Amino acid sequence: MSKPIEHDYIGLSEQQLPSMEKSSDKKDGLHLKDTELRLGLPGSESPEREDHDQNVLSLKSFVSGAKRGFSDALDGGGNWVFSGGSGGGTEGLFSPRRGGKNNGGKDLSGLDSGSVLKDGAAQKPSVVQEKKPQVAATSSHGNGNIAPASKALVVGWPPIRSFRKNTLAAHPPKNDDGDGNAEAKLGSGCLYVKVSMDGAPYLRKVDLKIYGSYKDLSSALEKMFSCFTIGQCGSHGVSSGDGLTESRLIDLLHGSEYVLTYEDKDGDWMLVGDVPWEMFTDSCKRLRIMKSTEAIGLVTRQCLLPNK
Amino acid sequence: MQKEMAYSFPDEVLKHVFSFIQSDKDRNAVSLVCKSWYEIERWCRRKVFIGNCYAVSPRMVIRRFPEVRSIELKGKPHFADFNLVPDGWGGYVLQWIAEMAGAYPWLGEIRLKRMVVTDESLELIAKSFKNFKVLVLFSCEGFSTDGLAAIAASCKNLRELDLRESEVDDLSGHWLAQFPETCTSLVSLNISCLGSDEVSFSALERLVDRCPNLRSLQLNRAVTLDKIANILRRAPQLVDFGTGNYAAELQPDVFSNLAGAFSSCKELKSLSGFWDVVPAYLPALYSICPRLTSLNLSYATIQSPDLIKLVSHCPRLQRLLVLDYVEDSGLEELASSCKDLQELRVFPSDPFGVEPNVSLTEQGLVAVSLGCPKLQSVLYFCRRMSNAALVTIAQNCPNLTRFRLCIIEPKTPDYLTLDPLDAGFGAIVEHCKDLRRLSLSGLLTDHVFEYIGTYGKKLEMLSVAFAGDSDLGLHHVLSGCESLRKLEIRDCPFGDKALLANAAKLETMRSLWMSSCAVSFGACKLLGQKMPKLNVEVIDETEPPDSRPESYPVDKLYIYKSVAGPRFDMPPFVWSMDEAVKILH
């Protein structure tokens, strides 16, 4: 079979392409080294790694091979994609106009080397929604250092639709052993409830199971809805860097403007915080961040209700 | 000579010929033949399919196709199903409805998938289209039973109302009573997604009573087992039925009533629902099992022995959806009983448990591959896999068109050899020459992508998670998969190089999703600037991407081709990289 040379990729030199004619490779296991792609300057020592940790992609091998490469289709320079020279150049790759702030002399591979990804340190892993260090989330990328009891740590994994997850959660799997309910919580990996906020243009959904306390929940909600309270919805430019956003919402929530309420299993709206956390997560169907002025009636009613 | 021939057919004849051409692909091809065919075709196109609602604007569609009667729109990216797309991202249908209300008074069919549909939109549909027949809301959200009430009340000739897997704000069960007594046209009604609240059952019964053409009915969980018999006796012509709850205390008279009701449904071919099953009631189905071609037990928490018994009564089964309670033993039985099986989906009963709770392994799938030569479509959740098993499956089922494997723990290697599963998936793409859809899992290096790029020539959709070592992986896919339309990637070490090197490829695809990868903000900006036919959107809920260095990877990236330009309904956490949209610096 022919080598997979496509004319619209920036060419890798021929000898570095996978030797697909070696059908023997496929027949007896995988001799990975024989078929391993090595991309480096001809004559340079590219790392011979069994663990595929890093394929150092030299800049030059990209630029030099570009015949009818993508770069040619653009402003003809071909320089905007990869500036010449190995090891980066003064002209940063991704910030052609901003001389000062770029990668400078940093190698391309700095982006996909271990420091960014493999050990997950600097990467932004798709962890628990609020990106809290509640759980050792990065370790979910490693092998086996995951919190023992439950694996609901990575958002959206395993890929099961909410509809199905919530159905399973509501009626946990039965078990063969006598104590059917003991294992019940394993089936309910998450519990999504809707959160609405008076005045916000759309709802959010939160997974109550990932929070351990009211405090965690409330700070997560603060973060989620902070952009709305400053009246910035619909526009960009929400900067949480200065801390103003968060503290203002905290003031708003803890102050007088908004209160957090929830609808319980019976359809009643209650103030959040009165019952033990577990009882709350069991009975909460949805949340609403309500304006204090509207909540007054709610508070009064609650005082008059017998203890639930 | 040829020129004369082209004009020798009057338009009416061409129109008539074109009316037999139903598929979009063929219609699109027809319109490219010449200008006059383009013109004729566009005036007689009645059905439009828009795979990405942001790829084109309503106005553009209306301008080109003035006589549309049926429209299908898809909104959010597929990964929205797994909560990777934040709420408020978009996919609003209101604008479409509003524009079509004016332009297509005769619009009869609206099919939406993963879109946000408000009550306002539903009310507008109810008001605007006098001949409205079909409403399918697949995996949609944003509406309540109030909106449904508007549809029920106004649509005099409604044929189909299908809410499958949508999120509905269930305010009241009484919307069903809004169907006027004169409405007798229903053919299909799917309310299985409605909450556990009361559905007005008497209204439902009356509706079923007066709709003699009802072929497909899916009830929701609130409907109890004892009510099923009543419904079935009113609709013995049903072809497709979804039970509600299938649990009740075993009572002989209830059982015999149910069994009798089922046996009176001579056309019934497809069953679903089965929430909360009491196994003792399953034999009530035995009379119809020989005719069943489709069985969805994916909510049924019944164990393997009961499943085996049921499945062994269904020799004509073509489609089975089931929980992993079926276990390897159940799948072996399936393999020996159901030789016509084309589609198998096995879902996890306990996806978040650390230890396996059932004995379901790769062996079950291997057994099915061996016993069911017509197998085309697989979705399989399991906890272990081996290259050997995958190779066997590939060799047994060369006709696979869809293969989605989810090994629950990310980066799980071949459990026998501890190797990556590259060779196994490589065998799948090599042997299954018609493979259109593939989802990967387990420990995978760049090599698997090499195989995919080399052999996956018909591959249209690829889902990747926690795989690969470097940009080379992504490069193999983008440069090798000629038919690729949708690519979705999460948690892979793919960065800028492959993406930029294959930027032109992106214009030939519907969309690309990358989250928790290593694509830098700078690269996104570059793509946005250089590729005007692409919308490049960065999603970041924590802070604006330009508040960090350009080399910093973006959280989520969604790129899609569009002739409509950047959209204007983006929430604050979505940034367009289009040059035309000013980004704050």
Q: What is the pLDDT, as a whole number, of residue A251? A: 53
Per the model's pLDDT, the better-predicted residue between A26 and B506 turns out to be B506
Nearest residue in chain B measured CA to CA from A153: B352
- Between A27-31, B121-125, B251-255, the lowest mean confidence (pLDDT) is in A27-31
Chain A residues with beta carbon closer than 8 angstroms to that of B303: 174, 176
The answer to whether B511 and B77 are in contact (CB under 8 A) is yes
The conformation of residue A222, written as its DSSP 8-state character, comes to H
SS3 sequence of A38-101: CCCCCCCCCCCCCCCCCCCCCHHHHHHHCCCCHHHHCCCCCCCCCCCCCCCCCCCCCCCCCCCC
Chain B residues with beta carbon closer than 8 angstroms to that of A159: 81-82, 406, 439, 463, 465
CA-based nearest distance A274→chain B, Å? 26
Chain B residues with beta carbon closer than 8 angstroms to that of A125: 491, 516
- Between A103-112, A296-305, B30-39, B409-418, the lowest mean confidence (pLDDT) is in A103-112
Is CATH 1.20.1280.50 the right assignment for the domain spanning B6-44?
yes
The answer to whether B73 and B111 are in contact (CB under 8 A) is yes
Residue A1 lies in a domain: no
| Helix, strand, coil percentages in chain B from 3-state DSSP, rounded to 5 | 35, 20, 45
CA-based nearest distance A249→chain B, Å? 15
- B469/A52 CB distance under 8 A: yes
Position B279 confidence tier, pLDDT thresholds 50, 70, 90: very high
Peptide bond into B279 cis (omega under 30): no
Q: What is the pLDDT, as a whole number, of residue A306? A: 55
Q: Is the pLDDT of residue A86 over 80?
A: no
- A151/B381 CB distance under 8 A: no
Per the model's pLDDT, the better-predicted residue between B25 and B401 turns out to be B401
pLDDT tens-digit series, residues A224-273: 776 665 443 333 333 333 333 444 444 555 555 778 888 888 878 888 88
Give chain A's mean pLDDT: 53
> What whole-number distance in Å separates Cα of residue B567 and Cα of residue B565?
6
Per the model's pLDDT, the better-predicted residue between A142 and A280 turns out to be A280
> What whole-number distance in Å separates Cα of residue B390 and Cα of residue B400?
12
Tell which residue, B550, B388, B402, B575, has the closest CA to residue B486.
B402
Q: Where are the domains of chain B?
A: 6-44, 508-584
Per the model's pLDDT, the better-predicted residue between A157 and A184 turns out to be A157
Computed from CA positions of residues B209, B211, B213, B215, in that sequence, does the dihedral angle turn out positive or negative? negative
Tell which residue, B566, B471, B481, B451, has the closest CA to residue B514.
B471
CA-based nearest distance B370→chain A, Å? 22
Q: What CATH number should be reported for the domain holding residue A254?
A: 3.10.20.90
Give the tokens for residue A73: 């289709």
Q: What is the pLDDT, as a whole number, of residue A252? A: 53
DSSP letters spanning A108-160: GGGTTSTTTTTT-SSS---BSTT--TTS-GGGGGSSS-S-SS--TTBTT-S--
Among candidates B423, B496, B584 on the partner chain, residue whose Cβ is nearest the Cβ of A237: B584
Q: What is the pLDDT, as a whole number, of residue A193? A: 85
- B571/A52 CB distance under 8 A: no
Q: Are strands B319-323 and B294-297 parallel, antiparallel or unpaired?
A: parallel
Chain B residues with beta carbon closer than 8 angstroms to that of A160: 82, 347-348, 351
Among candidates A53, A93, A202 on the partner chain, residue whose Cβ is nearest the Cβ of B87: A202
- A204/B87 CB distance under 8 A: yes
Among candidates B276, B479, B496 on the partner chain, residue whose Cβ is nearest the Cβ of A4: B479
Rg (alpha carbons) of chain A, rounded to whole number: 27
Q: Is the pLDDT of residue B529 over 80?
A: yes
What is the pLDDT averaged over residues A81-99? Answer: 34
Question: Domain count of chain A?
Answer: 1
What is the pLDDT averaged over residues B549-567? Answer: 95
The answer to whether B516 and A210 are in contact (CB under 8 A) is no
Residue A76 lies in a domain: no
Residue A38 lies in a domain: no
Alpha helices in B34-144 (DSSP H): 35-44, 58-64, 94-103, 119-128
Alpha helices in B172-326 (DSSP H): 201-210, 225-234, 252-263, 304-311
Q: Is the pLDDT of residue B287 over 60?
A: yes
Q: How many CB pairs under 8 A join A and B?
A: 253
Q: What is the pLDDT, as a whole number, of residue A96? A: 34
DSSP, collapsed to helix, strand or coil, labels residue A216 as: helix
The answer to whether B458 and B481 are in contact (CB under 8 A) is no
> What whole-number distance in Å separates Cα of residue B120 and Cα of residue B548?
40
Q: What is the pLDDT, as a whole number, of residue A17? A: 38
> What whole-number distance in Å separates Cα of residue B191 and Cα of residue B273?
11
Chosen for mutation from A163, A195, A196 (greatest number of chain B CBs closer than 10 Å) is A163
DSSP, collapsed to helix, strand or coil, labels residue A290 as: strand
Per the model's pLDDT, the better-predicted residue between B230 and A141 turns out to be B230
- Between A274-278, B116-120, B400-404, B495-499, the lowest mean confidence (pLDDT) is in A274-278
Q: Is the pLDDT of residue A102 over 80?
A: no
Q: Is the pLDDT of residue A139 over 50?
A: no
> What whole-number distance in Å separates Cα of residue B502 and Cα of residue B499?
5
Q: Is the pLDDT of residue B494 over 70?
A: yes
Q: Which of A110-124, A238-252, B522-536 is modeled with the greatest confidence?
A: B522-536
> What whole-number distance in Å separates Cα of residue B544 and Cα of residue B550?
11
- B87/A205 CB distance under 8 A: yes
Position B580 confidence tier, pLDDT thresholds 50, 70, 90: low
User: pTM for the complete prediction?
Assistant: 0.77
Nearest residue in chain B measured CA to CA from A26: B423
> What whole-number distance in Å separates Cα of residue A80 and Cα of residue A83?
7
- Between A185-194, B180-189, B269-278, the lowest mean confidence (pLDDT) is in A185-194
Please give the torsion angle defined by the CA atoms of residues A142, A144, A148 and A150, in that order, rounded to the nearest 10 degrees. Answer: 60
Q: What is the pLDDT, as a whole number, of residue A239? A: 39
Chain A residues with beta carbon closer than 8 angstroms to that of B351: 151, 158, 160, 165, 168, 189
Q: Is the pLDDT of residue B404 over 70?
A: yes
Chain A residues with beta carbon closer than 8 angstroms to that of B454: 1, 4, 20
B405 phi and psi angles, rounded to 5 deg = -115, 130
pLDDT tens-digit series, residues B30-89: 999 999 999 999 999 999 999 999 999 999 999 999 999 999 999 999 999 999 999 999
Angle between helices B119-128 and B94-103 (to 10 degrees): 10
B560 phi and psi angles, rounded to 5 deg = -150, 150
pLDDT tens-digit series, residues A280-303: 888 888 898 888 777 776 655 555
Tell which residue, A54, A101, A108, has the closest CA to residue A84.
A108
Residues A235-260 as b or e (16 or more Cβ within 10 Å = b): ebebeeeeeebeeebeebbeeeebbb
CA atoms within 13 A on the CB side of B170: 20
Provide the residue type at B390 as one letter.
L
Give the tokens for residue A42: 């001809």
The answer to whether B249 and B275 are in contact (CB under 8 A) is no
What is the pLDDT averaged over residues B185-203? Answer: 87
Give the tokens for residue A106: 């940093």
- B301/A227 CB distance under 8 A: no
Angle between helices B119-128 and B145-154 (to 10 degrees): 0
- Hunting for tokens 């009416």 — which residue is that? B12
Chosen for mutation from A168, A197, A219 (greatest number of chain B CBs closer than 10 Å) is A168
> What whole-number distance in Å separates Cα of residue A47 and Cα of residue B469?
14
Q: How many CB atoms lie within 10 A of CB B35?
A: 8
> What whole-number distance in Å separates Cα of residue B334 and Cα of residue B344?
10
Q: Is the pLDDT of residue A148 over 90?
A: no
CA-based nearest distance A127→chain B, Å? 9
- A112/B543 CB distance under 8 A: no
Give chain B's mean pLDDT: 94
- B471/A118 CB distance under 8 A: no
Chain A residues with beta carbon closer than 8 angstroms to that of B88: 201-204
Nearest residue in chain B measured CA to CA from A195: B87
The answer to whether B218 and B273 are in contact (CB under 8 A) is yes
What is the pLDDT averaged over residues B177-188? Answer: 94
The answer to whether B576 and B536 are in contact (CB under 8 A) is yes
